[in-house]
Structure 1
Amino acid sequence: MPVKNSIADRLPALTAIRRDIHAHPELRFAEHRTAALVAERLREWGCDEVVEGIAGTGVVGVIRGRTTTSNRAIGFRADMDALPLIERSGVDHVSTIPGRMHACGHDGHTTMLLGAAQYLAETRNFDGTVVLLFQPAEEGGGGAKAMIADGVMERWGIQEVYGMHNWPGLPVGSFAVKDGPLLAAADGFEITVRGVGGHGARPALAVDTTLAACAVVMALQSVVARNVDPLKTAVLSICGLESESTAYNVIPDRIVLRGTTRFFDPALQSLLVERIETLAASTAAAYGASAEVTYTRSVGPVLNAPENTAHAIRAAELVAGEVNTTIRPDMAAEDFADMLAVRPGCYMLIGNGPSADLHNPAYEFNDEAIPAGSSWFATLAEQRLPFA
Structure 2
Amino acid sequence: MTFADRIAAATAAIEPQLIAWRRDLHQHPELGNREFRTASIVAEHLRSLGLDEVKTGVAHTGVVGLLKGGKPGGVVALRADMDGLPVTEAVDLPFASKARAVWNGEEVGVMHACGHDCHVAILMAVASILAGMRADLPGSVKFIFQPAEEMPPEGEEGGAELMIKEGVLQHPTPSAIFGLHVTSRQPAGVIGYRPGPTMASSDKLKITVQGKQTHGAAPWLGVDPIVTSAQIVLGLQTIVSRNLDLNREPAVVTIGAIKGGVRENIIPDAVEMRGTIRSFDEGMRDTIHARVTELAEGIAGASRAQCQVCITKNYPVTRNDPALTEQMLPTLTRVATTGPRPMGIELVPKVTGAEDFSFFQRLIPGLFFFVGVTPPEIEPSQAHANHSPRFIVDERGLEVGVRALANLAVDYLAAQPA
TM-score by length of 2: 0.88
User: Shift in Å at residue 61 of structure 1?
Assistant: 1.0
Counterparts of residues 141-290 of structure 1 (less than 5 Å)? 141=152, 142-232=158-248, 233-243=250-260, 245-290=261-306
Contact 1:126 1:381 in 2 (8 A): no
Moved more, 310-319 or 165-174: 310-319
Aligned to 2:143: 132
CA distance in 1, matches of 2:264, 2:150: 35
Q: 1:51-108 deviations in whole A, cap 9, x for unaligned?
A: 10111111001111122x22x1000001001111121122221212132111110111
User: Shift in Å at residue 323 of structure 1?
Assistant: 5.0
CA distance in 2, matches of 1:285, 1:66: 68
Aligned match of 1:21 in 25, 30, 38? 25
CA distance in 2, matches of 1:209, 1:219: 15
CA distance in 2, matches of 1:62, 1:112: 17
User: Shift in Å at residue 6 of structure 1?
Assistant: 2.2
Aligned match of 2:66 in 62, 66, 70? 62
Q: 1:104-146 deviations in whole A, cap 9, x for unaligned?
A: 1011111111110011111223111000000111113351111
Contact 1:311 1:380 in 2 (8 A): no
Matched, 1:344 2:361: no
CA distance in 2, matches of 1:380, 1:374: 10
Aligned match of 1:334 in 350, 355, 375? 355
Contact 1:177 1:349 in 2 (8 A): yes
Q: 1:198-237 deviations in whole A, cap 9, x for unaligned?
A: 3323322232111111111001111111111131321111
Aligned to 2:89: 87
Contact 1:42 1:117 in 2 (8 A): yes
Moved more, 128-137 or 324-333: 324-333
Contact 1:196 1:206 in 2 (8 A): yes
CA distance in 1, matches of 2:319, 2:83: 23
Moved more, 15-24 or 184-193: 15-24
User: Shift in Å at residue 45 of structure 1?
Assistant: 2.4
Counterpart code for 1:346: L
User: Shift in Å at residue 183 of structure 1?
Assistant: 0.9
CA distance in 2, matches of 1:7, 1:199: 69
Once superposed, what is the RMSD of the aligned Cα atoms? 1.7
TM-score by length of 1: 0.95
CA distance in 2, matches of 1:102, 1:312: 29
State the number of aligned residues.
385
CA distance in 2, matches of 1:10, 1:325: 27
SS of residue matched to 2:414: coil
Aligned to 2:106: none
User: Shift in Å at residue 325 of structure 1?
Assistant: 4.5
SS of residue matched to 2:345: coil
Counterparts of residues 316-327 of structure 1 (less than 5 Å)? 316-321=332-337, 323-327=344-348
Aligned to 1:308: 324
Matched, 1:9 2:20: no
* Structure 1 residues 111 and 172: alpha-carbon distance in aligned structure 2, compared to 1, 3 A threshold: same
Aligned to 1:102: 112
Aligned to 1:73: 75
CA distance in 1, matches of 2:209, 2:90: 36
Name structure 2 gaps, 5 residues minimum.
101-108, 153-157, 338-342, 375-379
Q: 1:308-350 deviations in whole A, cap 9, x for unaligned?
A: 1124322222222175343211111111111011000200111
Contact 2:216 2:266 in 1 (8 A): yes
* Structure 1 residues 323 and 181: alpha-carbon distance in aligned structure 2, compared to 1, 3 A threshold: farther
Counterpart code for 1:116: V
SS of residue matched to 1:154: coil
Moved more, 312-321 or 50-59: 312-321
